[in-house]
């Protein structure tokens, strides 16, 4: 076939930054609109508030981004978070030192991810179905273990740590920022990142090129499970309780943030910075509408519209794929 380079543009490496610039533009636009509509919106305390409110979704969405880039999906993040929170809370209440309890919670989330990843990568089941099964399974485990009741009595040291503020920035925001920096390096500067992008872009070519495909896939699910646990710990610390129904529909917010940030559900594409901005867009939207006393039903409507508009703009600017 004759190739006319200009007739079939394909996104190349550096252009991903262009996509991030687009997301940033969307973010600025939405914030500008709210700044005009409600004066309170664009004040430092409120902006920090937005970041804090977005931190849990951002944490989940970062893991989701990696799974999506690898060509998969993780619908089980909410229940994984719930199980992890229950394990963490139970350990804390049983008197286990807090750092150990935190590690126990994260290990629980990673174990859920390992289970998902093994079924996807080794047994060869479809990610959607595996994690849909996990969604029910982990929720059931959390409900059975607790009898459906929240676990109260989280130690104050832990609650204070999560609700703390360092140099004016809430701890959850710092935690998520640190995670994001590490994940950016992993995706853009590490062999694992290359493997994830290759496996998502073309799994068969990656295998033939010697990429450890199964190990790479399992790793992203373990990562997603671990980050779900981190999000669960943040929420547990803020609420002072671990609720077995925690994390309902988290997976949808996370997928939305990743998609707004430029992750392709076909795999092979996605951005850490984009996903963070996607989470802040969704958080800012909810915050702004709440400030304007818009009913919750309409907030849902606005969220849906933003997601679809973002995808339409994405499609139009990428050209025909």
Partner 1 sequence: MAPARRHSPSRRDGPHESIDMTTSASRLSLVGVSKSFPGIRALDNVSFDVRPGEVHGLLGENGAGKSTMLNILSAVLQATQGKIFIDGQHVTPARPADARAAGIAMIHQELQHIPQLSVAQNLFLGRPLTTAGGMLVDRRAQERRAREILAGLDPRIDPRAPIHTLKVAQQQIVEIARALLDDAKVIAMDEPTSSLTPSEFESLAALIARLAAQGKSIIYVSHKMDEVFRVCDRATILRDGRFIDTVDLSQITEDQVIAKMVGRDILHERHVTHARPEVVMQVEDLSDSGLIRNASFALHKGEVLGLAGLVGSGRTELLRLIAGIDSAKSGRVILNGKPVDLRNPRSAIRAGIGLVPEERKKDGIVRERPVSSNIALPCMGRFSRFGLVRRRALHAEATSLMKKMGMRPPDVNRAIGTFSGGNQQKAIIGRWLAADVDILLFDEPTRGIDVGAKSEIYDLIAQLAQAGKSIIVVSSELPEIIRLSDRVMVMREGRISTILNADAISEDAIAANAIPKSQGPLAVAQSIEVLS
**Sites of contact with partner 1 (CB under 8 A):** 1-14, 185, 189-191, 193-195, 197-198, 201-202, 204-212, 268-269
Q: How far apart are CA 69 and CA 50, in angstroms?
A: 26
Give 190's DSSP letter.
S
Q: Residue 150, class by beta-carbon neighbours within 10 Å (0-12 exposed, 13-18 middle, 19+ buried)?
A: middle
CB of residue 189 to partner 1, shortest distance in Å: 5
CB of residue 199 to partner 1, shortest distance in Å: 9
Report the residue number, 51 or 198, with the smaller CB distance to partner 1.
198
Closest CA to 22 of 264, 261, 320, 303: 261
Token readout for 205 is 């070519």
Report the residue number, 36 or 205, with the smaller CB distance to partner 1.
205
Q: How far apart are CA 33 and CA 29, in angstroms?
A: 6
Report the residue number, 163 or 202, with the smaller CB distance to partner 1.
202
Beta-strand ranges (E) seen in 22-64 are none
CB of residue 140 to partner 1, shortest distance in Å: 36
| Residue listed under structure tokens 């009913």 | 295
Report the residue number, 155 or 201, with the smaller CB distance to partner 1.
201
CB of residue 215 to partner 1, shortest distance in Å: 10
Q: Return the C-alpha torsion angle 320, 285, 234, 169, nearest 10.
A: 110
Report the residue number, 29 or 265, with the smaller CB distance to partner 1.
265
Closest CA to 217 of 111, 67, 62: 67
Report the residue number, 14 or 99, with the smaller CB distance to partner 1.
14
Token readout for 146 is 């607790």
CB of residue 21 to partner 1, shortest distance in Å: 18
CB of residue 27 to partner 1, shortest distance in Å: 24
């Amino acid at each position: 076939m004759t190739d006319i380079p200009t007739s079939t543009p394909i996104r190349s490496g550096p252009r991903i930054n262009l996509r991030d610039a687009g997301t940033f533009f969307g973010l600025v636009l939405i914030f500008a609109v709210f700044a005009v509509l409600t004066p309170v919106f664009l004040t430092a305390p409120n902006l920090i508030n937005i970041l804090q409110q977005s931190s849990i979704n951002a944490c989940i969405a970062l893991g989701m981004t990696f799974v999506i880039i690898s060509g998969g999906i993780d619908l089980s993040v909410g229940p994984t978070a719930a199980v992890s929170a229950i394990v963490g809370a139970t350990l804390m209440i049983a008197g286990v030192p807090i750092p150990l309890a935190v590690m126990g919670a994260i290990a629980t989330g990673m174990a859920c991810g390992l289970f998902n990843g093994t079924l996807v990568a080794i047994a060869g089941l479809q990610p959607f179905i595996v994690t849909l099964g996990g969604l029910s399974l982990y929720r059931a485990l959390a409900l059975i273990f607790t009898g459906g009741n929240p676990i109260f009595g989280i130690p104050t040291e832990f609650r204070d740590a999560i609700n703390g503020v360092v140099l004016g920035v809430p701890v959850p925001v710092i935690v998520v920022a640190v995670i994001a920096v590490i994940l950016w390096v992993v995706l853009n500067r590490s062999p694992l990142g290359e493997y994830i992008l290759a496996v998502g872009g073309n799994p068969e070519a990656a295998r033939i090129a010697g990429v450890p495909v199964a190990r790479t896939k399992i790793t992203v699910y373990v990562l997603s499970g671990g980050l779900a646990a981190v999000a669960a710990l943040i929420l547990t610390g803020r609420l002072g309780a671990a609720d077995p129904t925690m994390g309902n529909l988290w997976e949808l917010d996370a997928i939305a943030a990743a998609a707004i940030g430029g992750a392709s559900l076909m795999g092979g594409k996605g951005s850490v910075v984009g996903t963070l901005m996607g989470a802040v867009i969704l958080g800012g939207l909810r915050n702004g509408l709440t400030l304007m006393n818009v009913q919750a039903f309409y907030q849902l409507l606005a969220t849906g519209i933003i997601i679809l508009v973002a995808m339409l703009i994405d499609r139009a600017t990428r050209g025909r794929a």
